Chains A and B, each alone.
Chain A
């Protein structure tokens, strides 16, 4: 047996939110490994939110859809809210035609909006920027 290839990007932590993403080459073993790693991190770090960037996924078939739905449910049971962000429009069209609505999976147009939904806001101006002190 070969080692599962990495399918996720590294899991970053921003406060109580974990930020990660999926790569295109998702197979069974890799999907299981990703789910296990993410849920271990949720548990260990007390994460309340998870943002999964899927903008690299060129297709979502029923297998990947099932992985996303299970990941969302398992995370919810651990107390974390998952937002899947960045689905490509052709992928959305194809999913609907497949008959898969990703029931229970919260989505956002892009990672920025997903993070906002999880309570993060874009800074209005650079923190500690020179304008601050000078203008006021």
Chain B
């Protein structure tokens, strides 16, 4: 699926479940809701929705906090760098248990140098530069599809059982 110039980085901690973003045929999605990320208010609404979904899926309080924080980073990236986009919350069922998958899309300029963008401390905006790399550490699976002029899609999953 990679186009010339397409840049993809997967998590360093791949899990036995099928890789996110590469066709989800093997992982049933039991529930899916898409939220727009166009305003500051949307960022707050997305956080609430992700929090509610983590509770529904059965995450403990620390995992809830991890997933909501990752969602906040990714949604803010889409809002600030991507000029707005969407965040889809998918409740998924893997071989070992339930999970939550976040699909964050924007039609922004894309990330020209993904490896650098994943480096701690690198920022082009108002954050601390920990957004993308930090979100990756908070999730079990993490895939980025991007490239200059192509927009960005981040697919990030966390499982209740690891």
Contacts and interface: CB of A to CB of B under 8 A. Distances in A.
Contact of A98 (B43, B47, B62, B69): B69
Interface stretch (B11-19, B26-34, B130-138): B130-138
A29 B40 CA distance: 9
Given A28-B40, A28-B126, A94 B138 contact: yes
Interface-central residue, A59, A63, A65, A93, by most chain B CB under 10 Å = A59
Residues of B contacting A: mostly: helix
A27 interface: yes
A100 B65 contact: no
Q: What band does the interface of chain B fall in when counting residues whose beta carbon is under 8 Å from A? A: 20 to 34
Interface string A11-32: 0000000000000010111000
A58 interface: yes
Residues of A contacting B: mostly: helix
B155 to A, nearest CB: 19
A90 B60 CA distance: 10
B137 A27 contact: no
30 contacts: A27-B41, A27-B44, A28-B40, A28-B126, A58-B68, A59-B72, A60-B69, A61-B72, A61-B73, A61-B76, A61-B131, A62-B73, A62-B128, A66-B127, A90-B61, A90-B62, A90-B64, A90-B66, A93-B62, A93-B66, A94-B62, A94-B65, A94-B69, A94-B138, A97-B134, A98-B137, A98-B138, A99-B120, A99-B130, A99-B133
